[in-house]
Every structure is written in C-alpha cells, then in structure tokens.
Amino acid sequence: MTWQVDLHSHTLWSKDCLTPFETIIRLCEKRHIQRIAITDHNTAEGALKFKQLAPELVIVGEEIMTTQGELLAYYVKESIPAGLSPDETINRLRQQGAVISVSHPFDRLRKGAWQEADLLNILDQVDAIEIFNARCMFAEDNVKALDFARLHNKIGTVGSDGHTRVGYGRAMTVMRPFEHDPEDFLGALREADYVKRLSGWHVHLGSKAAKWSKKLGLKPRLWEGG
C-alpha cells in the first residue's frame, strides 16, 4: 500500500490563489490524493486552520521567501516571516522540528529560485530538494534540480505547486503510509517514488488572475476555477 502525497500546494491564504479548503478536499478525494502539504506563501495560518477541518489529510507547511531563495517546510507549528536569511529561517524551522526542502531551486522564471553557490552554502542544513515542480515552464529546470539532488545525495520532494483546480495532484510523491510525525514522514520520503506531470503554461494565468482579483477586490468565484 502506498499514498499519493502532494508536497507543494496553495490555498486562498496565498496572495496568488483563491481556492478554498472545501474545494481542495473534494479534489483530493476525486484524484486519490491521500495527503497534501499546504505550503502557502510566507504563512502557516491557513494550513493550521485547514488542519482543523481535515486533520488526516493536511500536512501543515509553508513556502518561505528568504533573502536568497524559497524554502519549503513541513510539520510547521507557527509561521516564519519572509525576508530572513536562509540560515535564520532554517534555524527557526529547526526549533519547530520541521522538515525542510528547497522550492524549485533552478526555475529560471521564479523569483524564489536559487543561485547554486547560495544553495551549496545551506545544503547540509536542509533535508531535501524539490526535484520536480509541476509549474516549471522549462522541463530542463526540473532535470537540473534532480541532477543536483543526486550529485549531493539529497532526498527529493515532488509537488504540484497547485494554485487552481487543474493543478492539484499533477505531480505527487508516492510514499508508504506514515504517521503525522516529522521523523516517520522523513523516513517514508527516503523510500519514495514519484508521479511527474507538468501542468502547462495556462496555470500561471490562473494565479495571476487570482492575484489581480484580490488587488481589485473582485469576488473569488470569478477566478477560483482558474
């Protein structure tokens, strides 16, 4: 028995997403996603609330913008703010007992991508590298992340980076069942397999629309389906 686990996803708590918790629950049921990490931008508040609604489904996470690139964290207990150094961000996450990965490290179009030298500086402080992100526009950028992880013997994480309905579950980490515990999660991650499917360019239109709808105060239902 294995679980399909989406290790990178967003909710309406992210500035570029309008998808409510209830929609994500329905999509997980439909797409046979047994666990989903809620990794909203620079806040764990939405994930903590979602966890109360669906305690077995949700892994509380956060995607955090540091001064040098973005980190993914799992089993977060409280939000880590954006804008800290990678070292300080990692230190605060370790104090919570979180598992740490690196978001889409070499995606050439992302603000949160990493310079390789900066990534090497923190490599021994993180648990994993995101080796496939479904929203990458260039497949080579995911390949570069995979090659980097293999070269440095780091565990891989895979996720959809879902912001709109079409995205959730496009890419997943296939894991043995694990307890809601960082150590057991990490153990299962070491044995994982993967489902890798790119979402396509159109998903970026949905997240841009969500961002502008929030700025303009439009009703969420206009863009939720993205």
Mean pLDDT of 131-154: 98
Mean pLDDT of 39-57: 98
Q: Are 11 and 19 in contact (CB under 8 A)?
A: yes
User: What is d(CA 214, CA 14) in angstroms, rounded to the nearest whole number?
Assistant: 10
Give residue 226's pLDDT: 35
Give residue 222's pLDDT: 39
Least confident of 11-25, 77-91, 207-221: 207-221
Least confident of 84-88, 91-95, 154-158, 202-206: 202-206
**What is the number of alpha carbons within 13 Å of residue 26 lying toward its C-beta?**
7
Give residue 220's pLDDT: 56
What is the residue-averaged pLDDT of the chain? 94
Q: How many independent structural domains does the chain possess?
A: 1
Burial (0-12, 13-18, 19+ Cβ within 10 Å), 95: exposed
**pLDDT, tens digit (0-9, with 9 covering 90-100), for 120-130:** 999 999 999 99
Q: In terms of residue numbers, what domain contains 29?
A: 3-222
SS (H, E, C) 164-175: CCCCCCCCEEEE
Q: The whole model's pTM is what? A: 0.93
**pLDDT, tens digit (0-9, with 9 covering 90-100), for 191-224:** 999 999 999 877 777 677 777 788 777 755 534 4
Mean pLDDT of 174-196: 97
CATH of the domain at 149: 3.20.20.140
Mean pLDDT of 69-74: 98
Give residue 219's pLDDT: 59
Q: Residues of the chain with pLDDT > 70: what percent? A: 96
Mean pLDDT of 66-95: 98
Residue 141 has pLDDT above 60, yes or no: yes
Give residue 208's pLDDT: 77
Region of 169 please: left (phi>0), alpha (psi -120 to 50) or beta.
left
Mean pLDDT of 85-97: 98
